């Protein structure tokens, strides 16, 4: 099957996230987005798999794209499991564009063959989109800014401590692990790349 993936802009991805959240508003309550229910509404089945899958990937859309396969170890920690489900759902959204056709994945959907660059582009876009859905821009920014009340006179060390405290608080609010919180804050320029790396990427195991 001939296929060409064109990388989306940040604003396009935010618009897609807004469409998903609007279409599945019944699956959203407060800060919580029930991503598993949205996946099911889209005709996708989540299949936990035993064995050493996590040594290679944290999840993937199967050859039959109506199935999302995840390592069963992840299912015990919702904060880590939910971003994986969201990212795989976003692969289906971006690769099959079923949101423009209806609420479910087409019955005859077939996997696409991607070039190396297309694969890199869609991985980047799916990661961004997954966080944009789980952590809606306006709601997330509002919660982050309400939590992060920093006085510059307190110094850089206290700023870092407050950033980690805010990530822990928002992890509880949004039901995703703190590294996802940090990446979303970085993407929205609420924190710098260096602050993200220093306080989160270099501290939390992937």
Nearest Cα residue to 83 out of 135, 122, 40 = 135
Give 4-40 pLDDT, tens digit per residue: 788 999 999 999 999 999 999 999 999 999 999 999 9
Burial of 1 (0-12, 13-18, 19+ CB in 10 A): exposed
User: Is pLDDT at 205 greater than 60 in this prediction?
Assistant: no
Domain map of the chain by residue range?
10-134, 137-201
Domain 10-134: top CATH class:
mainly alpha
Give 116-151 pLDDT, tens digit per residue: 888 889 889 999 999 999 999 999 999 999 998 877
Phi, psi (deg, nearest 5) at residue 67: -125, 135
Give 178-187 pLDDT, tens digit per residue: 999 999 999 9
Q: What's the pTM?
A: 0.83
């Amino acid at each position: 099957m001939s296929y060409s993936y064109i990388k989306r802009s940040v604003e396009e991805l935010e618009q897609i996230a807004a469409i998903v959240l609007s279409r599945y508003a019944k699956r959203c309550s407060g800060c919580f987005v029930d991503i598993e229910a949205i996946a099911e509404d889209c005709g996708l089945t989540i299949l936990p798999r035993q064995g050493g899958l996590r040594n290679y990937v944290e999840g993937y859309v199967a050859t039959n794209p109506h199935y999302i396969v995840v390592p069963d170890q992840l299912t015990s920690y919702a904060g880590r499991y939910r971003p994986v489900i969201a990212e795989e759902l976003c692969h289906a959204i971006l690769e099959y564009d079923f949101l423009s056709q209806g609420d479910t994945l087409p019955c005859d959907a077939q996997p696409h063959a991607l070039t190396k660059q297309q694969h890199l582009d869609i991985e980047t876009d799916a990661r961004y989109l997954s966080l944009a859905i789980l952590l809606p821009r306006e709601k997330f920014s509002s919660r982050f800014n309400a939590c992060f009340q920093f006085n510059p006179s307190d110094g850089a060390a206290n700023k870092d401590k407050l950033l980690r405290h805010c990530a822990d608080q928002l992890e509880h609010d949004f039901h995703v692990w703190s590294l996802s919180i940090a990446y979303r804050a970085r993407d929205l320029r609420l924190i710098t790349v260096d602050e993200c790396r220093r306080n989160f990427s270099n501290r939390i195991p992937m």
